[in-house]
Amino acid sequence: MSAKMDVDEPTIDEGLYSRQLYVLGHEAMKKMAVSNVLIVGVQGLGVEIAKDVVLAGVKSVTIYDPEPVTIQDLSTQFFLRPEDVGKPRAEATVPRLAELNAYVPVRNLGGTAGQEITVDLIKGFQVVVLCGIPLAKQIEINDWTHQNGISFISAEIRGLFGNVFNDFGPKFTCVDPTGEQPLTGMIVSVDKDSEGLVTCLDETRHGLEDGDFVTFTEVQGMTELNGCEPRKISVKGPYTFTIGDTSNLSDYKAGGIFTQVKMPKIIEFKPLRESLASPEFFMTDFAKFDRPATLHAGFQALSQFQMQHKRLPRPRNAADAAIVVELAKKLDKDVDEKALTELSYQATGDISAMVAVIGGFVAQEVLKACSAKFHPMVQNMYFDSLESLPSTLPSEADCQPLGSRYDGQIAVFGKSFQDKIANHRQFLVGSGAIGCEMLKNWSMMGLAAGPKGAIQVTDLDTIEKSNLNRQFLFRPKDIGKFKAEVAAAAVADMNPDLKGKIVTSQEAVGPASEDVYSDSFFSEIDGVTNALDNVKARLYMDQRCVFYQKPLLESGTLGTKGNTQVVVPFLTESYASSQDPPEKETPSCTVKNFPNAIAHTIEWSRQQFDVLFVKPAQAANAYLSEPNYLESTLKYSGQQSEQVGQLLSFLVTNKPLTFEECIVWARLQFEEKYNNDIRQLLYSLPKDAVTSTGQPFWSGPKRAPDALTFDSNDRLHLDYIKAAANLHAFNYGLKGETNEAVYKKVADSVIVPEFTPKSGIQVQINDNDPVPQGGAAPVDDLDVLIAKLPSPASMAGYRLNPVEFEKDDDTNYHIDFITAASNLRATNYSINPADRHTTKQIAGKIIPAIATTTALVTGLVCLELYKIIDGKNKLDDYKNGFVNLALPFFGFSEPIAAAKNKYGSTEWTLWDRFEFKDDPTLQDIMNWFQKEHKLSISMVSQGVSMLWSSFIGKKKSEERLPMKFSKLVEFVSKKPIPPHVKHLIVEVMVSDEDDEDVEV
């Protein structure tokens, strides 16, 4: 075995691993790339762990499971097919796992049926994972791994119960316990005494906690702090902290930046043998505080039962359950008998949602063991979702195996509930990362496999390379195809019962597609599951679900964090009821003149990208194609001469005919942005400038810049010229140049005009200051400029190519330009530059993502879906979840009830409304409100049209009140109602008998 372990310095495919690199970082991934992982037992749980670890990119994954495939394995093992029954499990699974990631070899350790894993077989691996292996064998293997510095994880799932045990050795070093970005901030003073109080700039809180470590840069005066060994802090207030003795250092003058230093943490794990006697529980649900101790005894009792009877307890069999409870009581007399009885009842159960939760969790623990990034779980985890059981519990007879692929689920929920699942109809919005996992779980559950069942999936997106790292239904051959179609075909292959049951579409959800997702569409579904990546679409679907009174399952992930929310009609608040605070925006004057962080220069260069390569080409095309463009567009804009000048430059004076002219243009851009503009700013605000109170102007967050002198031997300068010239050439359809010598030669030969700073130029210092206006050109100058423009007719058919920003294509120079432009500006302002990878994330607003979190969150959603199918109607039946796999942390809470409003004696929530059928007249509606609720209407509106109000005058009133409602809407909006619209949402303002406005 050891001969196969090849060790070399790995290079990381940033195209494939892009989104995950933003979670783990290059260092952690390099450690993963030299780790060999062994997974023993590849039923559902083992294959879920293997899938997530293969996608994440370790050195190699080896699986061991010589037992023959049974039909029941298909309950959760999504890489087995009915024709695999009878073959050894590992042999049948390896080819499908190996397709997931070309960089990760997947091997089968062999063995023959009935042969258990032994210590000899596990040598040469860095991490060993045992899934569903008897306890005695776990202890034997763990005794050896604990002695030999190998990380050990064991896990098993019994119905709606799961457990995980971690032992990463007696002294495991975790290099980054949280995975959060190190905090950093500007400081304004450091006291010179035994405590050393540091005061931060009062714009932002420092966010540090007692016991954190920091180091410093750019401190003037007390320079000994710059690059000092990490100093332990204690927090004194939101803007102050102490750093220990500074009395023997120089006097502090000004400036400085603190940066938090992540300190490694050493964790001491106990072996399994000791942990059985004195466990350390990791809590997954604080509402079930006593559950872990009960299950700790319960899982041991199950293991004893299996050894004695050579089988597991039978589904819902009371006699077997009594034995398990007895065995558990010998270990711990205070166990909860009810929970243990259920554990025994469900021992043969195999639930795909549980596999996803525990499998995603364990896979992340495997990555922690390989990379030392993030804090491992210490040490025993027990998780259950008993709340997912149907309100009417199944009978013993209803849970007996039928020799079907759903036996693992039937053992827990019963056959009659299985039929409910099969006839359920769901609408899945999005089939990206969460969507793929959701469809896989649904296909294992047999959702929509029955005669009435149906799954609708929509996604407007096509597959890109960076998707393959976590959207596991897609393969390299699928790049460019529609996500929904590929995903639907892949899961119908996993479970042939779904063939013909999944309908896919590429229409985005939104007001424009309400003829596709119409009344009749919503009347044919039982609920909606969001698998979206933006808030706007989530809010829209939430609004549709409230309108059609359909349950909504909502979830999202951000790196190792994930959340789930259940929206149930008439019971809970909706997704829109509580919103996150808006993101903080950088003041525009900071970006324009006073950057102090790399994010500011990246934002500036992203704006430059649009100003140079997108907007001028769009404007030129508009001028050439739209009649009267100059009159209509420029009349209202304050910068007419600028815009006409730009058209003239792009279409006449500076229109390049060769690629070399594009290089000249790029060289002049460099001069303007990184030399002239900076010299002008320093002329208007010299380095020794003072404010009205006599303080130095360039201090605190304002960093004084320095102009750059072009040097074609400086890699960064040449990168800028290359990217800018190629993008400019793209605007004109000119072919680029690969030879670097050409760029150097042309750039060096450019004669750059002499620059003289102008006086009287105003600089905007605060966002509240007026924006300085360039002197408006006299109108006759403007006419002279316009006269020089070629007439659109003379350039008929000529168009420029505006650049469309695409962050994931490494050959198009987009991120290259933004990286170079940002780093040059960072050099102007002495800000640490950022590499291309970091720049790409910030400029492209990329959400970090990893397969482990996605799998786990989707599992939690499916545990709630069982409750929706059952029609549960109490708040405490449901759970909203929040997880962070880095810490690790699980938090669950009841959904928030829908807020109640009241008028008169009537209470109402966002789920209530007044419904009128058969197209009444406006008068009918007004009479009804008066009669039924003693409310008089003062205004009626629909969409953007005001249909009637108490002040529109008698003539209009008499005309409109008797109209049928649909005719009234068409009359006022002057537009016919589209044929798919079967109802209108109308808003009314009403007042009660005392003329008080009432909210309905």
State the catalytic residues.
Answer: 589
CA distance 977 to 814: 44
Which residues contact residue 887 at a Cβ distance below 8 angstroms, ignoring those fewer than 6 apart? 177, 178, 374, 375
Which residues contact residue 378 at a Cβ distance below 8 angstroms, ignoring those fewer than 6 apart? 166, 267, 269, 280, 282
Sequence-ordered strand ranges (E) for 230-387: 231-232, 234-237, 240-242, 257-261, 265-267, 281-282, 380-384
Which among 874, 440, 792, 840 is positioned nearest to 606, based on CA atoms?
Answer: 840
Distance of CA 943 to the CA centre of its chain: 33
DSSP 936: E
CA distance 352 to 441: 6
* Tokens 């001969």 sit on residue: 3
Query: 938 and 991 in contact (C-beta within 8 Å)?
Result: yes
DSSP 163: E
Task: Take residue 885 and report the two structure tokens written for it.
Answer: 């796999």
CA distance 151 to 172: 9
Pairing relation of β-strands 425-429 and 527-530?
parallel
Query: Is the preceding peptide bond at 379 cis, omega within 30 degrees of 0?
Result: yes
Which residues contact residue 321 at a Cβ distance below 8 angstroms, ignoring those fewer than 6 apart? 313, 340, 341, 344, 345
Query: 459 and 482 in contact (C-beta within 8 Å)?
Result: yes
Question: If you compute the radius of gyration of the chain from its CA atoms, what whole number of angstroms results?
Answer: 33
**What stretches of 704-797 show up as alpha helix (H) in DSSP?**
715-731, 740-749, 779-788
CA distance 128 to 39: 6
Which among 153, 126, 159 is positioned nearest to 40, based on CA atoms?
Answer: 153
DSSP 241: E
Return the exposure string of 215-232: e unless at least 16 CB atoms fall within 10 Å of the residue's CB, then b. Answer: bbeebebbbebeebeebe
Task: Give the other-Cβ count within 10 Å of 852's Cβ.
Answer: 29
Query: 888 and 282 in contact (C-beta within 8 Å)?
Result: yes
CA distance 610 to 643: 15
Q: Which residues on neighbouring strands pair with residue 189, listed in sequence order?
A: 199
Which amino acid is residue 505, in one-letter code? S
Q: Which residues on neighbouring strands pair with residue 220, listed in sequence order?
A: 254
Query: 69 and 86 in contact (C-beta within 8 Å)?
Result: yes
* Tokens 């896989």 sit on residue: 440
CA distance 719 to 842: 19
Task: Take residue 862 and report the two structure tokens written for it.
Answer: 């499916």
**What stretches of 874-978 show up as alpha helix (H) in DSSP?**
922-933, 954-960, 965-973
What is the helix, strand, coil percentage profile of the chain, to 5? 40, 15, 40
Query: 602 and 825 in contact (C-beta within 8 Å)?
Result: no
Give the helix/strand (H/E) hosting 156.
strand 151-158
Query: Is the preceding peptide bond at 376 cis, omega within 30 degrees of 0?
Result: no
Which among 765, 803, 786 is positioned nearest to 628, based on CA atoms?
Answer: 786
132: left (phi over 0), alpha (psi -120 to 50) or beta: left
CA distance 329 to 378: 25
